[in-house]
Every structure is written in structure tokens, then in C-alpha cells.
Amino acid sequence: MLAGHMSSIPQQIGNYRLERKIGRGATSEVWLARHAFLAQRRVAVKILVAHDSETIERFQREAQVASQLRHPNIVQVYDYGIYPTPQGRGQFHYTIFEYINGSSLQHYLERHGKIALPEAVSIFRQIAHALDYAHSHNVIHRDISPGNILLEQAGGRALLTDFGIARDVTNHADKLTVQSTIMGTPGYWSPEHTRSATAVTPLSDIFGLGAVLYVMLVGDLPWEENLTPPYRLPGAPPPLRERGARNIPAEVDRVLATLLAPDPAQRYPQATLAADDLERILHRHRIATCAEQGTGSPTPAAAVPVGLLPDDREPDPVEEALGPRLARALVLKAQERANQMQHPETISRILDQWAQQGFLRRRLLGRLARVHRIQNRNLYFYQLRVLYEQRGPAEQLEEPDYHNRPLPLDTVRDRWQVALDAPTSIVSEDGGLAMLPGSMHVAACEDCNGRGKRICPRCEGKGRIYETREVEVPAELPEPPRSRRRRAVSGNLGNAVSSGTSAVVADPPPIPTTTRTERVLVPCPDCNGHGGIICERCDGVGRLIRQQAFRWQRTAYDFNEQDDLDVINEAWLLQHCTVHQIYQEQATCPADTPNPQMDVWRREWFEIPHVRAMIEQAQQAINDDARVVLCELTIRFMPTTDVVFDLGAVQPNEQDLYRVTIYGFENVLPNDWRLLDWRWVLTLIVMGVLIIIIGILSVYLLIG
């Protein structure tokens, strides 16, 4: 008898008889079923119990996507179909899966709390292989969590299941992935999960797998709060030791920090590369443990990639200081190159290719070369961009108190405690004037003593002034004799009458004038006779609003350093090799920091000698009036390989050894005169000399 939904779910679907329900989800049930004719054939039948169109479409898509994947660590899909209900009132959509006799990782963790490092690494590696396989087939799972990982009881396999919200990136007609929708299991979401379902990439699955590893080792999620909207980028996960994990190498924290990096570009590009790192760490841990306990050597571990530098040298300062923050794809690409360059056959091939590219180069150079030493290293180029902010001394501003407005109550602050708009990029700004909070106050105008007017300095408050003027007055002349004057007039008139013409009387001559200086009392023109003028400082208000302010500006500056290039020409190197950006990060400093010279820089930057030198140089410009408010460190690199070889000397000494450097992922060698075919060089020199001699003799004979 079937329990539960036996009244609605059929007892048999196709050739499979349903035995018992083994799982239940929000929209489906999972039943254990046995083949009707093959008694040992057991399968898991997933039956859809919801019937809305979107759920049905998702159910069909899960079967379609999972059926494309055939991997030992992915639960296989055998069949999919639609079966009518016993009453004929509807249909059942079902998928037949491979049956895994075991439980989910979630149930295991609920019972045991956490998993030992070797078992956790084993589970991690199996799921990592499954993920990389799915990603190579353009399938993104989008819900990596312990509930979707099955642990087989007998075989020890870990399998990835539940592709219900998986996305086939090649299916551009997929309408079920809505841009604003967030899909997956809370707590295992990557930062891009919380932005949009369409923003999820294969690197998001790797983030989820990193969270699963953390939960396996600790028994809980890395962060106390689930990564739910509104989302804030988390920092590095807390060290395992702080969360109670014991007997786990500290290097595992570095792997987790890379897996759980907020920036996808800083994560492992492939999940199996993280598994390789974990196995190398586990192998070293076993060796150290066996040495401490005196139990001999452990079983050999699988081969794993070497680091950026050979095993006989310490990691370079950049990788040691910034390991989890470096662009992981480039780091691993450099590791792969280092592995290849460790083989003398690779060096021989590169030397032969170089020899074939030039006419005078020694032929078969790679076959002749007997390699003595191969040393891989990285050549780094550093740029530190710094944005200085200058704040001048406080100066006092004032204006008339026109509006009698209330003054804000605020604490008096220092100029460096004032928050300006934070810079978003390292670009120079002209700046301006910024007020000091708490410095605003009202004061009586000193010029007018608060009266709004001041005594007119010209009239001294009297309203009038004496003005000196030049006045014209008639001049005093002596009076001429009257008798003579009459006769002269009468004579003129008589002459006019006797001649019969009209007599014209002439105008009297102008009266002469003279000037005289007088002092006249007039209204004062400066105050219009009021005796006082409006105070220019307070504009007649009598009160002043005073406030302190400072002027600020920002100046960008670049500092550049690089590793020693030996004798190679930098222009030639940059022309023939690509320099890749492996790191870029900004750091800011709050204006009120107590230690502006140190707090702006990231502490790990000081571990890199060249960067530390640039920081010390940048700190020289920091003083009471200037601080660094934003800085950005960019590191670019190219891998190089130093090779020491001889060309077949019987007992080579120091003089017989050749040292060359192979640059970049392009494997470029600079021109080296030591590796020329000197037989051809001498032949050409002799031929050139002979041609010159023949030319000279020919000219001499022609002249003679």
C-alpha cells in the first residue's frame, strides 16, 4: 500500500512501481520505485504535484537540462513523461532519476554538525568536477547548497542534483529567468545573485561551493546574516579557527577567501583548481602531522599545480601579500606556464623557434642547449595613484545680519573633521570654500558700534560744511565828464539829420567784472546733510554674522615602480610582450582619522617592498595642510623564465654557461649577440671587406 497521496498518485508509472515517498518539495514529490520486471532496478521518480504553467515549464526545463549532463557526480536523468491520473481528471508530469541510496549533505550536517577536512576535501573535489563539467556544457546550476548535494552511502560518491533553476546560457529564448528575480538558497547566494538572476555566472556557482566548504568545516555559514537584500558586500570570511575549527591548516582560509571573493574576477576560474589547492594543502598537512607523530610518510597525493615560483623558493611578495585578491585566472595561467617551462623539452622548443626567426642566429640552438637551471618568476609593474586633499588655515567670513535667522547649534570642529563630498575617482579638483560647523555667531559691527550708521567723517556729524567759492562782481570804474559826453552825442545826431540818413545808436560797452573768494555754508554731499552715513561693513543692520571657513582643493599624483629589468630595454619589452593587470584596489581615508599618514593605506601593501617605497615617497607630502583621501594601487605583471644552459661543453665552467630570460606568455627572447652563428657572421664580414677592397681597386684602375 502506498501512503500519502496514493488516492491521487498512480501505483505504477510506466514499468516502475512506486514503493514509498522519500522526499517532498514545494511543488513535487520524490518516490522510490522498482522496475516491474527487473527487480534489482530501482529509480527515483519525481512527480510534479503543482499544475500551473510556469511550474510545469520549469519542471520540463530541469529534465531537459539535466538530461544533457552525463557525469559520475551528477544524478542521471533516465526518462521524462506525462501520465494521466487514475480518475482521468488530469495529468502527472514526472521525471525518472538515478536512485542514490543515501542522504543529502544538509541532512548529514544536521546530524553531525561538521565534517573532517579529508572528507570535506573529497566531497568538494567531486562536486567541483561536476560543476566544471556542467559549466563546460554551458549550464549554470545557480543553487549550489548542501540540500542539493547527495552523499551515497555505499560508494562514497557525492553527487550534484536539482537543476530546477539551472540556466542554459545558450538558450536565448529562455523566458523563465526574470531579470529582477533572485533565485537560489539564502546564505549561499553570491553578490551577483542578489542583483539579478540573469547576472549569475559560473563563478557564482563557485562562490556557492565555497560557502558549502565553509559549512562542512565549521557547521555554519561564514557570515552571521544571510546574504539577503539589501545586499552589502561581505568582507573576507572569518578564519576557521575563530569559528571553532581545529587541526585545519591556515592555508585553507586563503582558499576560502578566494572562493568567496566578492569580486568574481578574484575567484578561481574553475572549481577543480580550488580542489587542487586543497589537496596540496591536505597533503602537506598529512606530512607535517606524520612527522610530528613519527608515523612515517603518508600515501602520495595526486599531482597538483606548482605555485608561481618553483618549490625551492618562497612565494614572491605580491602573491604572499595579496594572494586572495589577485586576478585568479591570471595567477593560474602563470602557474600553468611555470609547470610547462619546468620541462627542458619546452625550453629547447622555444630556443629552436627563436633561432629560426633570424638569419644569423645559431641553428638547432634548442637541440644543442643542455639546461642546467630553470627559474620561473614574475616581473611586476606597480602604479600608486594618490589623491591629495589640501585644506588651508581657517579664515573668517562675515556678512550683515539681514534676516535675523536662527543660528544652528553645532559643535565647533576642526577643519579636518569636516566631511566634504567623498571623491569617486583620482582626479584633480579646483575645490572651493567650506564652512566650519559651529563657528557661526552674531557680533556687533565694530565700525558703527552696532548703530548701523557712523558719523560722517567729512562734516563730523554737523550735516553741513563750508565751501569756498569764486564769485564774480562788477568792477568799479571812474565816471567820465558829463558836458563832453553831451556834445559828442548832440554832434552825432545833428550830422545825421543834416545828411538825411538814419542815425544808429551804438550798444553801450560791456561792464567789466572781477572775481572774489567767499566761504559758503552748504549741506554735506557725503551724508546729504544727515550728519551720518550707513555703515558699509554691516550695511546699516548693526550686526554681523561671522563664520570661519577654509579653502580646499585636490591634486592627483602618480608614483611608478617596477621590478629590476636587468639590462633589457623596457620599450622593447613592452612592444613585444603584453603586461597583464593582476590587481587593482582603492583605499580611502576618513577626514577625521587620528593617523592620516598610515590609516589610508592597506596594511598588506606594506609587505611589498616596491609598494612600500612608493608609499613612503607619497607620505612625504602629508602635513598639517595636506592629506591623502583616496589612493589606488594597480599591479601589472608578466611571467618570466630564467634559463641557464651550455652548448655541449664537455666540462662546462662559468664561461661556458649562457643565461637568457624568456619573457611573457608570448615566450619572447631578446636579441643576444652571444647566440649568433659566428661562422656566418665572420663570413659576411670577410665578404664585406673583400667587396670594399675590390671596389677601391676598381676605382683606382679607372682613374689610372
CATH code for the domain in which residue 278 is found = 1.10.510.10
Does residue 503 carry a pLDDT above 80?
A: no
pLDDT at 283: 83
pLDDT at 393: 92
* CA dist., res. 658 & res. 370, Å (int): 10
Q: Mean pLDDT, to the nearest integer, of 600-629?
A: 91
* CA dist., res. 116 & res. 123, Å (int): 11
* Packing angle, helices 202-218 and 117-136, rounded to 10: 170
Confidence label for 489 from pLDDT (cuts 50, 70 and 90): very low
pLDDT at 680: 67
Confidence label for 459 from pLDDT (cuts 50, 70 and 90): very high
87 and 150 part of one domain: no
Whether 702 maps to a domain, the answer reads: yes
Confidence label for 313 from pLDDT (cuts 50, 70 and 90): very low
Which of 24-28, 238-242, 599-603 is most confident?
Answer: 238-242
Of the candidate ranges 347-356, 492-501, 693-702, the one whose mean pLDDT is the lowest: 492-501
pLDDT at 287: 66
SS3 434: strand
What is the domain-level CATH number for residue 84? 3.30.200.20
Name, in order, each residue with C-beta under 8 angstroms of 568's C-beta and a sequence gap of 6 or more.
661, 663, 670
pLDDT at 649: 72
Name, in order, each residue with C-beta under 8 angstroms of 409's C-beta and a sequence gap of 6 or more.
none
CB-CB contact of 543 with 450 (8 Å): yes
Percentage above 70 pLDDT, the chain? 83
- Among candidate residues 46, 70, 99, the one where a domain is terminated: 99
Is the torsion defined by CA of 436, 441, 443, 445 positive or negative?
Answer: positive
Confidence label for 304 from pLDDT (cuts 50, 70 and 90): very low
Does residue 177 carry a pLDDT above 60?
A: no
Q: Mean pLDDT, to the nearest integer, of 52-66?
A: 84
- Dump pLDDT digits (tens) for 434-451: 998 888 999 999 989 988
- Annotate 209-251 with DSSP letters as a single string: HHHHHHHHHHSS-SSSS---SSP----SPPPGGGGT--S--TH
- Among candidate residues 65, 99, 133, the one where a domain is terminated: 99
pLDDT at 213: 96
216 and 295 part of one domain: yes
Q: Mean pLDDT, to the nearest integer, of 405-431?
A: 86
pLDDT at 301: 38
More confident residue, 323 or 78: 78
pLDDT at 290: 60
Whether 439 maps to a domain, the answer reads: no
Angstrom CA distances, 477 to 480, 488, 506, 512, 514, stand at 9, 21, 20, 9, 12
* CA dist., res. 120 & res. 209, Å (int): 12
Bond preceding residue 264 cis, omega within 30 of 0: no
- Dump pLDDT digits (tens) for 667-690: 998 887 677 666 666 777 888 888
pLDDT at 596: 66
- Dump pLDDT digits (tens) for 555-603: 999 999 999 887 778 888 889 999 999 999 888 876 556 666 677 888 8
pLDDT at 504: 58
Q: Mean pLDDT, to the nearest integer, of 180-205?
A: 77
pLDDT at 667: 93
Whether 289 maps to a domain, the answer reads: yes
CB-CB contact of 612 with 606 (8 Å): yes
60 and 72 part of one domain: yes
pLDDT at 175: 53
Whether 45 maps to a domain, the answer reads: yes
156 and 267 part of one domain: yes
- Amino acid at site 139: V
Confidence label for 39 from pLDDT (cuts 50, 70 and 90): confident
pLDDT at 85: 67
108 and 94 part of one domain: no
* CA dist., res. 227 & res. 225, Å (int): 6
Whether 67 maps to a domain, the answer reads: yes
Confidence label for 196 from pLDDT (cuts 50, 70 and 90): low
Of the candidate ranges 479-488, 571-580, 641-650, the one whose mean pLDDT is the lowest: 479-488
Name, in order, each residue with C-beta under 8 angstroms of 159's C-beta and a sequence gap of 6 or more.
73, 74, 75, 100, 126, 130, 149, 150, 152
89 and 107 part of one domain: no
Whether 323 maps to a domain, the answer reads: no
Phi, psi (5° rounding) for residue 573?
-65, -45
Q: How many domains does the chain have?
A: 3
Of the candidate ranges 58-67, 165-174, 453-462, 468-477, the one whose mean pLDDT is the lowest: 165-174
Residue 570 in grid coordinates? 623596457
pLDDT at 477: 59
Confidence label for 208 from pLDDT (cuts 50, 70 and 90): very high
Closest CA to 331 of 135, 585, 580: 580
pLDDT at 300: 42
| Strands ordered across the beta sheet of 91-98 | 12-13, 16-24, 28-35, 42-48, 91-98, 77-84
pLDDT at 499: 54
91 and 107 part of one domain: no
Closest CA to 14 of 87, 113, 81: 81
- Among candidate residues 99, 130, 149, the one where a domain is terminated: 99
For residue 138, give its domain range: 103-304
- Amino acid at site 427: V
Q: Which residues pair with 31 in a beta bridge?
A: 21, 45
Can 143 be counted among the known catalytic residues? Answer: yes
Percentage above 90 pLDDT, the chain? 28
Does residue 297 carry a pLDDT above 50?
A: no
227 and 116 part of one domain: yes
- Dump pLDDT digits (tens) for 513-560: 788 788 888 999 989 888 899 999 999 999 999 999 999 999 999 999
pLDDT at 299: 45
- Dump pLDDT digits (tens) for 366-385: 788 888 888 898 999 999 99
Residue 371 in grid coordinates? 639546461
Whether 135 maps to a domain, the answer reads: yes
Whether 160 maps to a domain, the answer reads: yes
Confidence label for 6 from pLDDT (cuts 50, 70 and 90): very low
Does residue 42 carry a pLDDT above 50?
A: yes
48 and 120 part of one domain: no
Closest CA to 675 of 372, 377, 357: 357
Confidence label for 306 from pLDDT (cuts 50, 70 and 90): very low
47 and 134 part of one domain: no
CB-CB contact of 285 with 116 (8 Å): no
pLDDT at 302: 37
DSSP strands (E only) in 221-359? none
- Annotate 623-651 with DSSP letters as a single string: BTTEEEEEEEEEEEEEEEEEEEEESS-SS
95 and 237 part of one domain: no
| Catalytic residue from among 52, 132, 143, 174 | 143
* CA dist., res. 148 & res. 419, Å (int): 48
- Over the chain, what is the mean pLDDT? 82
Q: Mean pLDDT, to the nearest integer, of 254-278?
A: 89
137 and 251 part of one domain: yes
Does residue 416 carry a pLDDT above 50?
A: yes
